[in-house]
Structure 1
Amino acid sequence: MSKISPCLWFNGQAEGAAHFYVSVFGGSVDHVSYYPEENPSPSPLAGGSVLLVEFTLFGQSYQALNGGPQFTFDEAVSLSVACEDQAELDRHFDALTADGGKPGPCGWVTDKYGLCWQLVTRQIMANYHTGDKEGIARMMRVMMTMQKLDTAAMQAAFDGETP
């Protein structure tokens, strides 16, 4: 387990979510813990049900906690994925929007569990690091019209090849 591991709160879906994320991004489900038969916590989940799932994506450990219905995800927290290229971004986008996931503006995706993701290519991120204010502004204007990011269109805008 990493020194710091994001803990994601679910309402009975922790194990399914961990397996889903591992299927989308690769990684591993590392350990599953269960509530004791006589559940002493305020969670409405029955004793013997899944309490905590530890899993790893891209070498980073995560925890999926079945805590109950009290809390849900929102856009204030998202997981950002630096994809190698457009093909990888497309694969992740399609997987995360399947079965009830929803695309959002500017490369954001909310998966079927309600967790928000940002899918961006390394090429786009490299453009932000150049400090080219005009190129970045052009690229961002184009990005604001997109749901799934189109790296080629954003690069063309950065390069000044679009209006």
Structure 2
Amino acid sequence: MQKITPFLWFDNQVEEAIIYYVSIFKSAKVGKVARYGEAGPGPKGSVMAASFELEGLEFTALNGGPHFKFNEAISFVVKCDDQAELDDLWERLSEDGQERRCGWVTDRFGICWQIVPSTLTPMLTDPDAQKSQRVMEALLQMNKIDIATLEQAFEGQPVES
């Protein structure tokens, strides 16, 4: 059992968002769904709250109304094994959303994601400060991350701009 669960507050798009996220991630499923009854406050039969799982992480989502909005202060980091996976997630999450620097994407619901290679943290924390600095400099030039370019920077090979 997961001890800490991210809780996402949507206006009224929980069902749409869950279907969207489950369609994007390879290991994903919808969990329990609670719907409003006669007492409301939402329309009878509409989703009040639901759980879903993405890549082994359970989420809870609530249709709580327009009181709160998502922002970049909270994001979800997705570590990708290769460029194909990174490209696929980047394209799908940025559709009708917004591409940002350094692998960040804001999706159509306003949730922020960091789509990064699994090798990024080891490169940025390498004991050789020159290697990690070159990787950071290359990273700062990118929106969607290009793994080959980061690897070239890490190895000290010329990087095309």
TM-score normalised according to structure 1 size? 0.91
Aligned to 1:73: 70
Q: Structure 1 residue 149 and structure 2 residue 149: aligned?
A: no
* CA-CA distance at 1:133 after TM superposition: 1.5
Aligned to 1:16: 16
Paired letter, 2:2:
S
Q: Deviations over 1:96-136 (max 9, x none)?
A: 111x1111011000001110000111122321343221111
Q: Match of 1:79, SS?
A: strand
Question: How many angstroms apart in 1 are the aligned matches of 2:127 and 2:33?
Answer: 45
* Structural RMSD (CA): 1.4
Q: Which runs of 5+ in 1 are unaligned?
A: none
* Matched residues, number: 158
Query: Percent of aligned pairs with the same residue?
Result: 42
* CA-CA distance at 1:30 after TM superposition: 1.0
Aligned to 1:106: 102
Q: Does the Cα contact within 8 Å between 1:85 and 1:123 map onto a contact in 2?
A: no
Paired letter, 1:31:
K
Aligned to 2:36: 35
- Identify which of 51, 60, 85 aligns with 1:88: 85
* CA-CA distance at 1:66 after TM superposition: 0.5
Q: Match of 1:76, SS?
A: coil
Q: Match of 1:39, SS?
A: coil
Q: Match of 2:119, SS?
A: helix
Q: Does the Cα contact within 8 Å between 2:2 and 2:58 map onto a contact in 1?
A: yes
Paired letter, 1:10:
F
Paired letter, 1:30:
G
Question: How many angstroms apart in 2 are the aligned matches of 1:49 and 1:131?
Answer: 53
Aligned to 1:6: 6
TM-score normalised according to structure 2 size? 0.92
Q: Does the Cα contact within 8 Å between 1:39 and 1:47 map onto a contact in 2?
A: yes
Q: Match of 2:70, SS?
A: coil
* CA-CA distance at 1:52 after TM superposition: 0.7
Q: Deviations over 1:17-55 (max 9, x none)?
A: 111111111310011101232125xxxx33432111100
Q: Deviations over 1:79-112 (max 9, x none)?
A: 00000111100000010111x1111011000001
Q: Does the Cα contact within 8 Å between 2:93 and 2:106 map onto a contact in 1?
A: yes
